[in-house]
């Protein structure tokens, strides 16, 4: 007898066959229905979310994670808007990637196709439930979601809203399913559902991602933690540096593209550090600095070895003075998670050296790290920022959620 968990996997596989043959028009209509459903059920969603947030706060969840967990009416409206943004994006399915006609008359065509069934494991981020559902539907993929116990009340309502919208457009509600009721055992079974789940995408803490990568028998697209660096070069201007650093750290702290470590060239440190760090502390940021920085800015807390390579996800920032551009690159090479790293400089030769030698998914010159985002890149909602090098790297939009297949058409050819 098929158990309840296996039934979800079987339903997902069946739904993937239906969705792979669904027209762009129907997929777009279903996304519009989801957007309307989010708007009309906003009060219900926020009420369920309040239960999750209150419980998480009582259990001592950090402020940065609480920020990720919370859905306000404005954020629900933002989710609906993001779904509609995906409607406007080109459908990648069926796109011809290449092809040729061989001398024997065989006609070859390589076309873009969905993965099929995509599993996702994430935590305390109910917005991801909507983002994943929408981008997977548009790219022709079925979703099996493990959103974690912290957001279980919210995710239950969101999946119900999405399922009702899908059914109203003639699609199976099993296009998007949650395995949250199965708890950690469900996550383990999802990681080992090879043959039923085609790809697994983890989003969350470094420990969660590491566990999925190492324990899964299903192919994983790794989305990395964000130990994000900015290096202020010797030629960096104060106003630009201050604005970019402040935005990168404080605009939203509980996200993977928020600044965690600031590196400052020794030659520019006396000129830049006092004003930049004072502005940050006035915004509530706690500075953890090396000895050289504390000489210039005595109000900083002493940094320890644990501060380098630490993803705070809070109003904390590690600061270190380095002797050269090369020292900054080497520090980033040791401690970066290869997510996003940036340089602020007026020396374009140094900028090009930084771009060439820093091995991260996104490398920025004179811009806030907060721009590392699928929506900001014009890709629509994303499933994460891939920090690996195979298949996809950086923001994973619609095209990154597809594979390809070759279609060969002949008229009776056989191989000698």
For 320-376, the pLDDT digits (tens) are 999 999 999 999 999 999 999 999 999 999 999 999 999 999 999 999 999 998 878
Q: What percent of the chain has pLDDT over 70?
A: 99
Which residues have a Cβ under 8 Å from the Cβ of 150 and sit 6 or more positions away? Answer: 52, 55, 56, 61, 65, 69, 123, 124
For 102-153, the pLDDT digits (tens) are 999 999 999 999 999 999 999 889 999 999 999 999 999 999 999 999 999 9
Q: What residues in the chain have per-residue pLDDT under 50?
A: 1
146 with 190: CB under 8 angstroms?
Answer: yes
Q: How many CA atoms lie within 13 A of 276 on its CB side?
A: 30
Domains of the chain by residue range:
4-223+383-409, 228-371
- The CATH architecture one would assign to domain 228-371 is 3-Layer(aba) Sandwich (3.40)
Quick one: pLDDT at residue 63?
Answer: 84
What does DSSP say about strands 228-232 and 259-265: parallel, antiparallel, or unpaired?
parallel
Distance CA 80, CA 134 (A): 10
Q: Write the CA distances from 320 to 104, 134, 266, 296, 347, integer angstroms.
A: 65, 41, 9, 11, 21
Q: Which CATH fold topology does 4-223+383-409 show?
A: Aldehyde Dehydrogenase; Chain A, domain 1 (3.40.605)
Token readout for 244 is: 């970019």
Token readout for 343 is: 């340089």
Where would I find the H helices in 41-170?
A: 42-58, 63-69, 73-87, 126-138, 152-168
Give the helix/strand (H/E) hosting 279: helix 269-282
């Amino acid at each position: 007898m098929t158990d309840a968990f296996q039934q979800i996997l079987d339903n997902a596989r069946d739904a993937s066959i239906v969705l792979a043959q669904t027209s762009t028009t129907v997929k777009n209509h279903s996304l519009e229905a989801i957007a309307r459903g989010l708007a009309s059920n906003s009060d219900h969603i926020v009420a369920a979310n309040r239960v999750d947030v209150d419980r998480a706060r009582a259990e001592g969840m950090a402020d940065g994670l609480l920020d990720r967990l919370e859905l306000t009416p404005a954020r629900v409206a933002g989710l609906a808007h993001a779904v509609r943004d995906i409607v406007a994006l080109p459908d990648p399915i069926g796109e011809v990637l290449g092809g040729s006609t061989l001398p024997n008359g065989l006609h070859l065509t390589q076309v873009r196709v969905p993965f099929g069934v995509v599993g996702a494991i994430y935590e305390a981020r109910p917005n991801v439930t909507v983002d994943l559902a929408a981008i997977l539907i548009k790219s022709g993929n079925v979703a099996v979601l493990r959103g974690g116990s912290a957001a279980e009340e919210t995710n239950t309502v969101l999946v119900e809203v999405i399922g009702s919208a899908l059914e109203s457009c003639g699609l199976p509600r099993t296009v998007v399913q949650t395995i949250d009721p199965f708890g950690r055992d469900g996550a383990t079974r999802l990681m080992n559902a090879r043959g039923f789940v085609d790809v697994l995408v983890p989003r969350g803490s470094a420990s969660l991602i590491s566990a999925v990568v190492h324990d899964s028998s299903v192919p994983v697209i790794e989305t990395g933690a964000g130990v994000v660096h900015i290096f202020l070069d010797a030629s960096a201007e104060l106003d630009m540096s201050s604005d970019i650093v402040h935005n990168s750290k404080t605009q939203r702290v509980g996200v993977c593209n928020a600044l965690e470590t600031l590196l400052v060239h020794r030659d520019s440190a006396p000129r830049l550090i006092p004003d930049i760090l004072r502005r940050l502390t006035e915004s509530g940021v706690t500075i953890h600095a090396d000895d050289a920085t504390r000489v210039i800015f005595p109000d900083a807390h002493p940094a320890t070895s644990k501060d380098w390579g630490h993803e705070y996800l809070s109003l904390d920032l590690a600061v270190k003075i380095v002797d050269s551009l090369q020292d900054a690159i080497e520090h980033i090479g040791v401690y970066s998670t290869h997510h996003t790293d940036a340089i602020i400089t007026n020396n374009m030769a140094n900028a090009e050296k930084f771009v060439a030698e820093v091995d991260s998914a996104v490398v920025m010159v004179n811009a806030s790290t907060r721009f590392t985002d699928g929506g900001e890149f014009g890709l629509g909602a994303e499933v994460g920022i891939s920090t690996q090098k195979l298949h996809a790297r950086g923001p994973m939009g619609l095209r990154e959620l597809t594979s390809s297949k070759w279609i060969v058409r002949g008229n009776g050819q056989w191989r000698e």
